[in-house]
Amino acid sequence: MMQFLESEIQQYNKLVWSTLLGFDIQPEPGTFDFSSEDTVTGSVQVTGKWNGVITLYLPSLLVNKITETMFSLESGGANPETKKDAIGELINMIGGNIKSILPQPSVLSTPIFAMEGQSQQFPFTKKVTQCKFTCKDSSFALSLYEQKPAEKKTVSA
Amino acid sequence: MQQFENEIIHYTKDIWKSILDLDVNKSEDAFSQLGGESILAGCVQITGSWEGAVALDCPVELAKKVASIMFQLKEEETTTDLVEDGLGELTNMTGGNIKSLLPEPCYLSLPAVTMTQHGLRIPGSELISTVTFKCWGYNFRVSVLKKIEKDDE
C-alpha cells in the first residue's frame, strides 16, 4: 500500500541528494532497522496547517561521506560540528521541498539532531511514512511523523 | 538577570505544582549530570516573529518519577513511551507559556524528546537564558535559545 506522499518524498529526496551532493540514491523496499549507537538523526518540524516532523536517519559512515563531499574535506576530516552543519543543510532542503506539498500555511523549524548514541522521539505523533533508500552501499531512511489527534491521557491536575 | 529568567522560574514552578503537585525551586548550582547519568532532553521550537526553542533537560530518573505521577502509575509500570510523553507534555506547557511572552504571530512545534549524555544542542541557536531547578535531589534545567540571525554571524 502506498504511504502518505511516498512517491513525492522519494522524488524530492532523490533530487536534493543529486543537486546538493551529486549522490545517486535509490529507493529500497523494506523497513529500516537501525542501532542508535551508529545512527545520526536530523529532524525539522513543520508547524501550521499540517503539524509534524520530517526525520532523516543516517548511518555514521554515510554521514562522514556526506560531510566530506559537502565541505570538500579529506577522508576522515569530518568532525561533529561539520557533520551537524551538513546534515542540517540536507534535512533543511528536504524538509523545505516536502513542506511545499503539505497544506499551507506552514513553517519549518531549525534542524535538531541526535548524534551517535543518542535517540530522538516525537511524542504525540504517529509515523505516516517511512521511505528506505540506499546510497554508496549504505541504507538510510526518511520518515514523516504526523501529529496525532488530541488524545486524553489521565493527567492528575 | 537573564532575559525571561523570572518568567521561566514562575512558569516552571507553576506547571510542576499544578500538573504534578511538586514544589520545585531554583538552584544556584550549575546544571550537571551526577555520575554520567543519561539526560532526557525535551525541546519545542518556536517559529514566526521570534525564532528559537525552549528546552527542558531532565535526568532520566526524575523523568520516570514525573511520568509515574502524571499518569498515576507505579514507577516500575512507566514505559519509555510514557516517560517521553510526560517530558514532552511538560516541555510543551513550558514552551507554550514562554511563547505568550514573544511577539505575535509565533507558532509552537510539537515536542521532540532526545536521550543524550550531554543535553540537547541546537546548532544555529544561542542560549539566551537557562535556569537550573532542584526537585527530589535531582537538578533539571529550562533553557531558552534564540536562532542566530545570519547578519549576526
| B115/A118 Cβ within 8 A | yes
DSSP A117: T
Residue A117 C-alpha cell reads as: 548514541
| B19/A157 Cβ within 8 A | yes
pLDDT of residue B34: 57
pLDDT of residue A3: 87
The H-assigned helical ranges of chain A are 6-21, 60-70, 80-99
Residue B21 has pLDDT above 50, yes or no: yes
Residues of B within 8 A of A112 (CB-CB) are 43, 45, 53, 112, 114, 120, 122
Q: Is B47 within 8 Å of B104 (Cβ atoms)?
A: no
Judged by average pLDDT, the poorest of A82-91, B16-25, B61-70, B143-152 is B143-152
Q: Is A145 within 8 Å of A126 (Cβ atoms)?
A: yes
Fold adopted by B5-145? Chemotaxis protein chec (3.40.1550)
Residues of B within 8 A of A156 (CB-CB) are 19-21, 69-70, 72
Q: What is the ipTM of this complex?
A: 0.75
Mean pLDDT value across residues A37-47: 92
Closest CA to A64 of A14, A136, A121: A136
Which residues are paired to B114 by β-bridges?
A120, B41
CATH superfamily of A6-147: CheC-like (3.40.1550.10)
Q: Is A18 within 8 Å of A26 (Cβ atoms)?
A: no
Nearest residue, CB atoms, A124 vs list B110, B115, B116: B110
pLDDT in tens, A64-92: 999 999 999 999 999 988 998 999 999 99
Residue B151 has pLDDT above 70, yes or no: no
Judged by average pLDDT, the poorest of A148-157, B79-88, B118-127 is A148-157
For chain A, the domains span 6-147
Mean pLDDT value across residues A102-122: 89
pLDDT of residue A156: 45
Nearest-neighbour CA in chain A from B87: distance (Å) = 9
Across chain B, mean pLDDT equals 90
For chain B, the domains span 5-145
| A124/B88 Cβ within 8 A | yes
